[in-house]
Amino acid sequence: MKKYDVIIVGAGPSGIFAALEIIRKDPTQKIVMLEKGNDINKRVCPVAEHQKTCIHCPSCSITSGFGGAGAFSDGKLTLTTRFGGMLGEYIGDKELTELIEYVDKVYLEFGATEEVFGYEGDPRIEDIKRQAAAAELLLVPARIRHLGTEQCYKILQRLREWLGKRVEIVTNCPVESILVENNNFVGVQTTDGQVWNSDQGIIVPGRDGADWFANEAQRLGLQSIVNPVDIGVRVEVPAEVFSHITDVVYESKFIFYSRQFDDRVRTFCMNPYGAVVVENNDGLLIVNGHSYHEKRTANTNFALLVSKTFTEPFKEPLTYGKYIAHLANMLGGGVIVQRLGDLQDGRRSTEARIKRGLVQPTLSDATPGDLSLVLPHRHVVSLLEMLEALDKVAPGVNSRHTLLYGVEVKFYSNRIKLDSELRTSIRGMWAAGDGAGITRGLAQASAAGIVAARSVLNS
């Protein structure tokens, strides 16, 4: 049995920045970070190392390990309060703006690139906004600092080296349960039966731990709010189709409301000259995308997500998202890929049709199939309407050769009820990041860790 000043569960962006902030403000603090995945230098995906298919590692190196899912992400810092999470609802946009600037400086300190895309007032952005409005699309511009997948990894290695000299970091150490006595946080128990004691805990399990945290919150009687469920596809097109937009704003956030169902559809995680990848989320294979700072493919990919808010008595958004992902895995043996033209014509794609298409897939480990057998009808209709609208801004995106990969599901739908300092109703316990349903990206996840850390220091 070990006693610490602070236990941090999860070594993703929120956990890293929480530890960084506490140690910089008070170097005497005894902190332990418990991470279920591998250490940063041991995070190797067999698929990335030329293994043909996912072999279902005990802990997926793409989604877990020191650095969190962000370690292998596209590495975009969205320097805005307008998207990337809901942290502003807790602390206010003014404080969030200041925190994002603070976070940005830390990333720069540890090696982030100086280049920033998407300055507001750029006449090219105003022109894109006008075209979008004519197509019933809303463009939400924002400054983006693109790190690139390989640079993001190097930055996290430097953060690991700095923290490793000051904080106890334990990897391959999944937490099984949060320990509470008389409504006070007293520690955690890991799956090997070891008990770790502290009066203060910051729970930041990331997207990969969202389901675990939702179950723990329910067991502990913590209230939660059901966030919208984001389910959709990853779209892959020739890079030239979007280059006139991505060269200016890099991460183009377009929002559309479908005509038939009035569902909100949005673009997310755009990767110019990038690659489509597979993520293993507790045995479920879902799709995502990366782009690199120093190497390019011929394609651009982005997520197209339909947001659906369910009403009472529905309380299991994570279960719903996993059900859709499971259905895709069952039908396709993993990720399904389909030509847009085949989806429009009501037929499945075949390997032969994919091969003779004008867009060559960057993900080889995807099964040609029919996404209409996986996604709900209203999702398919809304996605097709969105692609028609996008074609007016980026001609060619609605081509029959465009590739759709599915499914893409964002597991941050269960939001734990927290106060303005991200404290739970359990004394001495804070929660933050994507796994708590508060954030949806690197910048706000990092900022959330700082909010929790400052509250710990002031408690």
Give the pLDDT confidence of 88-119 residue by residue, as tens digits: 999 999 999 999 999 999 999 999 988 888 77
Whether the pLDDT of residue 243 is over 80: the answer is: yes
Whether the pLDDT of residue 4 is over 90: the answer is: yes
The pLDDT, as a whole number, for residue 53 is 64
The pLDDT, as a whole number, for residue 2 is 78
Give the pLDDT confidence of 349-372 residue by residue, as tens digits: 999 999 999 999 999 989 999 999
Domains and their CATH numbers in the chain: 2-112+147-225+415-458 (3.50.50.60), 123-142+228-410 (no CATH)
pLDDT-derived band at 293 (thresholds 50, 70, 90) equals: low
> What mean pLDDT do residues 242-260 have?
92
The whole-chain average pLDDT of the chain stands at 91
Give the pLDDT confidence of 217-229 residue by residue, as tens digits: 999 999 988 778 8
Whether the pLDDT of residue 51 is over 50: the answer is: no
The pLDDT, as a whole number, for residue 17 is 98
pLDDT-derived band at 232 (thresholds 50, 70, 90) equals: very high
Give the pLDDT confidence of 147-200 residue by residue, as tens digits: 877 788 899 999 999 999 999 999 999 999 999 999 999 999 999 999 999 999
The pLDDT, as a whole number, for residue 317 is 76
> What mean pLDDT do residues 309-314 have?
76
The pLDDT, as a whole number, for residue 73 is 64
CB crowding 410-441: b at 16 or more within 10 Å, else e: bbbbbbbebeeebbbebebbbbbbbbbbbbbb
The pLDDT, as a whole number, for residue 290 is 85
pLDDT greater at residue 418 or residue 48: 418
